[in-house]
Amino acid sequence: MKRISHFLLIAGLLFTLSGCAGFSQQEALLSGTIEADEWPIVAEVGGMVTEVKAEEGSRVKAGQVLAVIDERSYQINVSDAKAALEQATARLEEAKAGSRDSSIQKGIAAVQQADANIRMAQARKQQADAGISKAKEQLEQTQSQMQGAQHTLAYQQNRLTEANSLYQQGAISQKDFEAQEELVSQAKTQVNQLQAQVAAAGSQYVSAQGEVSAAVAQIGTAQAQQAGATADLHLLKEGSTGYTIRALLAAQQQAQAKLDQALLQLEKTKITAPADGILLRSAIEQGEVAKTGANLFTMMKADQLKLKVYIPEAQLNRVQAGQTVGIQVDAYPGETFAGTISLVAEKAEFTPKNVQTPDERTKLVFAVTIQIAEGQGKIKPGMPADVILSAPAKGEGQ
């Protein structure tokens, strides 16, 4: 799952806390940004969205309906499946009573219908194959463009490093240095835009693959129907036997399974929340067409916030998994909330580049992930937070 705050990182590494209730002035604190795990809510069936029932930022309950997809075509599928089940049941009952000429004519019609279904499914697959080829070509093209943009960015960043050295030596003007900075910024923008295009092209390719798979499955189903109808016709011509009854009973069970599937697809036209939580983003509006597999909403699970901070290598012995720490945010001065260290990274890394001073950027640090144990009604994702490496005072954060 993506994190809603992965564009924000730590504001600083080791500061001295003064005036905080329940803590010594000499206790070190770390800084980071509150994060939350994101849950995508995906459309399992496609169609026009007829209603959106939840807004961004609202709290939702597990099973709550967030949006409704036009269910008319799915209701038709249910009706067709019910009719097929009734037909299979009637054929079974008729076979038990003995075959007649009318039954044989119905068997011939069933074989002909199965043949038509196979041809229709094959046509759908041909169309899907063309779609997947086009989607693959688009994906490869955007990937190639992104690689070129990444190379350009790397080149411009190297030029910026050289320009900085020359500027410090007075060999080039500030205007030339700023011009190179602008080139780096433009290259980064190009990379970001192409990354978004690659993600969109990848989604289209996956959707096209799903359409091909669905077409192949439809062909298999139609061929099975044809084989069943042909076998039924032969049995009807020969007269009903114990084998005939068993075959028709299997056909009835198959019709029941298709009805169950149609009812399930109809149920999926109601987009529901998978758990209690907060709706972070909505990517669909009433009247838009949702594709199968499209991400319609993004939510965060209620009461599951975390915080990632970085601790210098020399102070790694001050943290361990399971340790209780104090968390403070600017919005609630004087309050300290409890958190528990859930993970300490096994591998060191250099301080992330957006830390402000050159000295801090050269330090080796370890990532520390903290699960927030209290204060979820107050603490929000995206808030800057300070972490104090000791348990909060009794009664704080309540």
Q: Give residue for tokens 């806390």.
A: 17
Report H helices in the chain: 72-97, 101-169, 174-238, 242-267, 358-361
Q: What is the DSSP string of 113-127?
A: HHHHHHHHHHHHHHH
| pLDDT mean across residues, the chain | 81
Range of the domain at 366: 15-65+280-388
Q: Which residue among 185, 209, 239 closes a domain? A: 239
Residue 321 included in any domain? yes
The CATH number covering residue 178 comes to: 1.10.287.620
The CATH number covering residue 374 comes to: 2.40.30.170
pLDDT in tens, 130-173: 888 888 888 888 888 888 989 998 998 998 898 888 888 888 88
Q: Tell me how many helices (H) and strands (E) the chain has.
A: 5, 14
Same domain? For 105 and 59 the reply is no
Q: DSSP character for 352?
A: P
- Beta-bridge mates of residue 272: 65
Same domain? For 178 and 291 the reply is no
- Locate 387 and state its tokens: 């972490």
- Distance from C-alpha of 123 to C-alpha of 121, rounded to nearest angstrom: 5
Residue 92 included in any domain? no
Residue 55 included in any domain? yes
Residue 297 included in any domain? yes
Nearest by Cα to 307 from 39, 36, 38, 29: 36
- Distance from C-alpha of 87 to C-alpha of 251, rounded to nearest angstrom: 10
Q: DSSP character for 171?
A: S
| Phi and psi based region of residue 345 (left: phi greater than 0; alpha: psi -120 to 50; beta: remaining) | beta
Residue 2 pLDDT level (bands cut at 50, 70, 90): very low
Same domain? For 211 and 290 the reply is no
Number of domains in the chain: 2
Between helix 242-267 and helix 72-97 the angle, nearest 10°, is 170
Q: Which residue among 219, 239, 259 closes a domain? A: 239
Give the lowest-confidence range in 17-26, 43-52, 276-285. 17-26
Q: Which residue among 211, 239, 267 closes a domain? A: 239
pLDDT in tens, 303-350: 778 898 998 888 888 899 999 999 999 999 989 999 999 999 888 888
If you average pLDDT over residues 274-285, what whole number do you get?
87
Same domain? For 189 and 137 the reply is yes
As a residue count, the chain comes to 398
- Locate 225 and state its tokens: 């129907």
Give the phi and the psi of residue 99 in degrees, each rounded to 5: -75, 145
Residue 250 included in any domain? no
User: Would you state the pLDDT for residue 112?
Assistant: 83
- Distance from C-alpha of 279 to C-alpha of 181, rounded to nearest angstrom: 38
Same domain? For 234 and 108 the reply is yes
- Locate 236 and state its tokens: 């009807």
pLDDT in tens, 259-278: 999 999 999 999 999 888 88
User: Would you state the pLDDT for residue 354?
Assistant: 52
Global confidence as pTM: 0.45
Same domain? For 116 and 36 the reply is no
Same domain? For 141 and 187 the reply is yes
User: Is it the case that residue 360 has pLDDT exceeding 60?
Assistant: no
Same domain? For 54 and 179 the reply is no
User: Would you state the pLDDT for residue 105?
Assistant: 77
Same domain? For 120 and 220 the reply is yes
Residue 302 included in any domain? yes
User: Would you state the pLDDT for residue 94?
Assistant: 76
Residue 254 included in any domain? no
Residue 268 included in any domain? no
- Distance from C-alpha of 51 to C-alpha of 348, rounded to nearest angstrom: 49
If you average pLDDT over residues 59-79, what whole number do you get?
92
Distances (CA, A) of 85 to 63, 248, 262, 369: 30, 11, 12, 55
